[in-house]
Amino acid sequence: MKNKKKQENYLDYIPKHNELFPYCKKENNRIEVTVQNKGLVNRVAQLIFRRPKFSKIELDDFGSFVWEQIDGKKSIYEICGLIKEQFGKDAEPLYERASTYFQILRRNSFIVYMNKK
Protein backbone atom coordinates (compact mmCIF):
# COMPACT_ATOMS: atom_id res chain seq x y z
CA MET A 1 0.00 0.00 0.00
CA LYS A 2 1.42 3.36 -1.05
CA ASN A 3 1.67 6.32 1.27
CA LYS A 4 -0.43 9.13 -0.11
CA LYS A 5 0.95 12.50 0.79
CA LYS A 6 -1.47 15.33 1.10
CA GLN A 7 -0.91 17.52 -1.92
CA GLU A 8 0.28 21.01 -1.00
CA ASN A 9 -2.00 23.86 -1.90
CA TYR A 10 -0.17 27.08 -2.75
CA LEU A 11 -3.14 29.09 -1.48
CA ASP A 12 -2.51 27.76 2.04
CA TYR A 13 0.86 29.50 2.30
CA ILE A 14 1.10 32.42 4.72
CA PRO A 15 3.29 35.24 3.39
CA LYS A 16 5.25 37.62 5.61
CA HIS A 17 7.32 40.67 4.66
CA ASN A 18 11.06 40.09 4.58
CA GLU A 19 12.53 42.45 7.17
CA LEU A 20 15.52 43.12 4.90
CA PHE A 21 13.32 45.32 2.72
CA PRO A 22 11.96 48.39 4.52
CA TYR A 23 8.85 49.98 3.07
CA CYS A 24 6.59 52.95 3.59
CA LYS A 25 3.20 54.17 2.45
CA LYS A 26 3.47 57.26 0.28
CA GLU A 27 1.04 60.18 0.13
CA ASN A 28 -0.62 58.63 -2.93
CA ASN A 29 -1.42 55.54 -0.77
CA ARG A 30 1.03 53.37 -2.68
CA ILE A 31 3.68 51.26 -1.02
CA GLU A 32 7.34 52.00 -1.72
CA VAL A 33 9.85 49.23 -1.01
CA THR A 34 13.53 50.09 -0.54
CA VAL A 35 16.12 47.73 -2.00
CA GLN A 36 19.82 47.97 -1.21
CA ASN A 37 21.95 47.43 -4.31
CA LYS A 38 24.61 45.05 -2.93
CA GLY A 39 27.31 42.94 -4.50
CA LEU A 40 30.48 43.55 -6.44
CA VAL A 41 28.82 44.61 -9.71
CA ASN A 42 26.56 47.09 -7.91
CA ARG A 43 29.49 48.46 -5.89
CA VAL A 44 31.50 49.06 -9.08
CA ALA A 45 28.49 50.71 -10.73
CA GLN A 46 28.06 52.93 -7.67
CA LEU A 47 31.69 54.03 -7.75
CA ILE A 48 32.15 54.47 -11.50
CA PHE A 49 28.68 55.35 -12.78
CA ARG A 50 27.35 56.93 -9.58
CA ARG A 51 24.48 54.45 -9.35
CA PRO A 52 22.43 54.76 -6.18
CA LYS A 53 23.14 52.55 -3.18
CA PHE A 54 19.39 52.11 -2.69
CA SER A 55 16.54 51.73 -5.18
CA LYS A 56 12.93 52.60 -4.43
CA ILE A 57 10.22 50.41 -5.96
CA GLU A 58 6.72 51.88 -5.98
CA LEU A 59 3.97 49.27 -6.16
CA ASP A 60 0.79 49.89 -8.18
CA ASP A 61 -2.66 50.02 -6.56
CA PHE A 62 -3.14 46.24 -6.75
CA GLY A 63 0.34 45.51 -5.44
CA SER A 64 0.04 48.07 -2.64
CA PHE A 65 -3.28 46.61 -1.51
CA VAL A 66 -1.85 43.09 -1.48
CA TRP A 67 1.29 44.26 0.34
CA GLU A 68 -0.80 45.79 3.10
CA GLN A 69 -2.70 42.50 3.57
CA ILE A 70 0.51 40.54 4.13
CA ASP A 71 0.81 40.22 7.89
CA GLY A 72 2.23 36.76 8.56
CA LYS A 73 -1.23 35.57 9.65
CA LYS A 74 -3.44 35.56 6.54
CA SER A 75 -3.04 32.83 3.94
CA ILE A 76 -2.83 33.61 0.24
CA TYR A 77 -6.39 32.26 -0.05
CA GLU A 78 -7.63 34.73 2.58
CA ILE A 79 -5.79 37.59 0.91
CA CYS A 80 -7.39 36.63 -2.42
CA GLY A 81 -10.80 36.98 -0.78
CA LEU A 82 -9.90 40.51 0.30
CA ILE A 83 -8.61 41.32 -3.20
CA LYS A 84 -11.93 40.17 -4.65
CA GLU A 85 -13.83 42.40 -2.19
CA GLN A 86 -11.64 45.41 -3.02
CA PHE A 87 -11.25 45.07 -6.80
CA GLY A 88 -14.15 42.86 -7.89
CA LYS A 89 -14.00 41.87 -11.56
CA ASP A 90 -10.91 44.05 -12.09
CA ALA A 91 -8.89 41.43 -10.18
CA GLU A 92 -9.81 38.60 -12.55
CA PRO A 93 -8.34 36.14 -13.24
CA LEU A 94 -7.88 36.44 -9.47
CA TYR A 95 -6.04 33.29 -8.43
CA GLU A 96 -3.71 33.20 -11.43
CA ARG A 97 -2.87 36.87 -11.06
CA ALA A 98 -2.35 36.67 -7.28
CA SER A 99 -0.33 33.47 -7.58
CA THR A 100 2.00 35.07 -10.11
CA TYR A 101 2.36 38.20 -7.98
CA PHE A 102 3.23 36.20 -4.84
CA GLN A 103 5.76 34.14 -6.82
CA ILE A 104 7.43 37.35 -8.02
CA LEU A 105 7.53 38.74 -4.47
CA ARG A 106 9.06 35.48 -3.20
CA ARG A 107 11.55 35.16 -6.06
CA ASN A 108 12.81 38.67 -5.26
CA SER A 109 12.93 37.81 -1.54
CA PHE A 110 10.43 40.55 -0.63
CA ILE A 111 8.37 37.96 1.26
CA VAL A 112 8.98 34.69 3.05
CA TYR A 113 6.43 32.00 3.85
CA MET A 114 5.43 31.19 7.40
CA ASN A 115 4.25 27.80 8.60
CA LYS A 116 0.88 26.89 7.17
CA LYS A 117 -2.20 26.87 9.39
Least reliable range by pLDDT among 1-5, 62-66, 69-73, 104-108: 1-5
Domains in the chain, start-ordered, CATH in brackets?
12-114 (3.90.930.60)
3-state secondary structure the chain: CCCCCCCCCHHHCEEEECCCCCEEECCCCCEEEEEECCCHHHHHHHHHCCCCCEEEEECCHHHHHHHHHCCCCCCHHHHHHHHHHHHHHHHCCHHHHHHHHHHHHHHCCCEEEECCC
Find the mean pLDDT for residues 52-72. 92
pLDDT of residue 79 exceeding 80, the answer is: yes
pLDDT tens, residue by residue, 9-44: 888 999 999 999 999 999 999 999 998 877 766 566
pLDDT for residue 35: 87
